[in-house]
Amino acid sequence: MTEEDSLIRGLHVFSTGTGSIHAEHRYGTRLPRMWWVLFSDNWVEVPINVFVIEHPEGLILFDAGLDTAILTNPNYVDSAIGRFFMRRLFRLRLQPDETLTNKLAGLGFDVADVRKVVVSHLHFDHVGGIAKVPHADLLVSRNEWDQLSGPHPERDFIFREHVQRPGARWQLVDFEHTDDPLLAPFGGCHDVMNDGSLILLPTPGHTPGSISMLARIKGRAPVLLIGDLAYEAELLMKDQLPGTGDKAQLLSSYAKVRGLKQRLPELVILPCHDFAAQEYLSSSLAGQGAQVDR
Ligand SMILES: [Zn+2]
């Protein structure tokens, strides 16, 4: 399928609040992780992006952002150690009205029209909004889901009670073999709508089951939504590792994404926590399908 005959008519982004993370977290450091987690006072502001895709069968979200209950419920994070590390790693700025529902309405969309939510990984700032879309199918990789059965997923900022919500319609994604030379290096793919417009690819490293989504959109350059694989596309392009994650897996995934970009030079790589996504998607040049190298 080419971009011209893609069924997808629009790609939008909003942020459910904003936050700050340590510079060492975003850009990497030689310092031991526990040192910067406990002592760094070097904060960088980040958005918490949710991407909205207009498909003829309904809206597809990539990630679901924060749940505003994190503001109002002091025990949103169940464990005391989880709350302590949460405060050391993230400073969240979220208003009570910054719900997924209201943010979608701000773009002129109805939350009832959300058909599927693809979750790049199960961290709390990517699944919070699922509380607002109980009718939607929730897609996550099987590898990522397996983390829920580990002894302490909350130590890795995966909170079972906010993922395994009653009635939540989770679907576990297994990747199918593909001979497509564009996608084969990833070792498998999954076609979300069965029309080639939205393709999931395994890109482990930030978490063991992290996935990216290739979106082919009418009138635009193709886009790869990478979740937290890297915090800025430039960092991925030059193998600059963040302060967290599995280094070997990250480097392997970075190489595969760069290989995809070599084959699709106009590909735009959009991370979850980068203001560049808003800049790119609001740019009129980009709307005309021009090359924007981010
Ligand atoms: Zn994450």
Between 174 and 4, name the one with better pLDDT. Answer: 174
pLDDT for 293 equals 36
The residues whose Cβ lies within 5 A of ligand 1, an ion, are 123, 228
- This prediction's pTM: 0.92
The alpha carbon of 50 and the centre of ligand 1 are apart by a number of angstroms equal to 13
- Buried b / exposed e across 111-144, counting CB within 10 Å, b at 16+? beebbbbbbbbbbbbbbbbbbbbeebbbbbbebb
- Contact present, 182 and 260 (Cβ < 8 Å): yes
pLDDT for 4 equals 54
**DSSP letter, residue 292:** -
The alpha carbon of 62 and the centre of ligand 1 are apart by a number of angstroms equal to 13
- Contact present, 180 and 199 (Cβ < 8 Å): no
The alpha carbon of 145 and the centre of ligand 1 are apart by a number of angstroms equal to 14
Give domain limits for the chain.
Answer: 10-285
The alpha carbon of 222 and the centre of ligand 1 are apart by a number of angstroms equal to 23
The alpha carbon of 141 and the centre of ligand 1 are apart by a number of angstroms equal to 14
Tell me: pLDDT of 176 over 80: yes
203-231 residue pLDDT tens: 999 999 999 999 998 888 999 999 999 99
For the chain, give the mean pLDDT.
91
Residues 6+ apart with CB under 8 A from 252: 204, 205
May I ask the CATH class of domain 10-285?
Answer: alpha beta
47-67 residue pLDDT tens: 999 999 999 999 999 999 999
Q: Which amino acid is at 19?
A: G
How far is CA 80 from each of CA 27, 40, 94, 241, 288, rounded to the nearest angstrom? Answer: 28, 21, 21, 29, 49
The alpha carbon of 91 and the centre of ligand 1 are apart by a number of angstroms equal to 14
Tell me: pLDDT of 116 over 70: yes
Compute the distance between CA of residue 89 and CA of residue 33 in angstroms, rounded to an integer: 11
